[in-house]
Amino acid sequence: MTILSLDLGTTTGWAISRDGIITSGTISLKPGRYEGGGMRYLRFTKWLDEIREISGSIVEIYFEEVRRHAATDAAHVYGGLMATLTAWAELRGIPYQGIPVGTIKRHATGKGNASKEAVIAAVKAKGFTPADDNEADAIALLLCAIEKGGK
């Protein structure tokens, strides 16, 4: 059984639990200098196809549900990635669910308004070595989803 969690953004954090083994990382979805803005979404779709092929059957997807962005560009990128993800999952019959940022932070640190550094520290305390806050958020989200879902 494979569960995928995603912290959607130009640098997308991801974590996968496959048969209880957790793997994580980040993927850069920044368009190249001579690419159109839609290329990030095509690259994301291709990455989702590859991760599904490598990991076997994905049974659930969780993503960090952001309800407020400080910057317009970040909001547009998030919305586009969420639309791409949900359409991709719908086409394949994979259930997906957004989990609010505060819920993830509360689960990881005990505080719903914890800083990025606090989430990274909490994830490291559980034995993980995230490269950045995007990967730490994806790991924290996966751990929250597994505990809440009982998987």
Residue 92 contacts by C-beta under 8 Å, 6 or more apart in sequence? 52
User: Does the structure show a pLDDT above 80 at 99?
Assistant: yes
pLDDT reported for residue 3: 96
143 with 107: CB under 8 angstroms? Answer: yes
User: Does the structure show a pLDDT above 90 at 122?
Assistant: yes
Neighbouring C-beta atoms of residue 38, cutoff 10 Å:
11
Place 128 in a pLDDT band, splitting at 50, 70 and 90.
very high
Q: What percent of the chain has pLDDT over 90?
A: 81
Q: What percent of the chain has pLDDT over 70?
A: 97
What is the chain's alpha carbon radius of gyration, rounded to the nearest angstrom? 15
Could you name the CATH architecture of 2-149?
A: 2-Layer Sandwich (3.30)
Reported residue count of the chain is 151
pTM, 2 dp: 0.93
Phi, psi angles (nearest 5°) of residue 87: -65, -45
Helix (H, G, I), strand (E, B) or coil at 56: coil
Phi, psi angles (nearest 5°) of residue 63: -135, 150
CA angle 107, 113, 115 (to 5 degrees): 95
Looking at residues 110-121, what average pLDDT do you find? 95
For tokens 């932070």, the residue is: 105
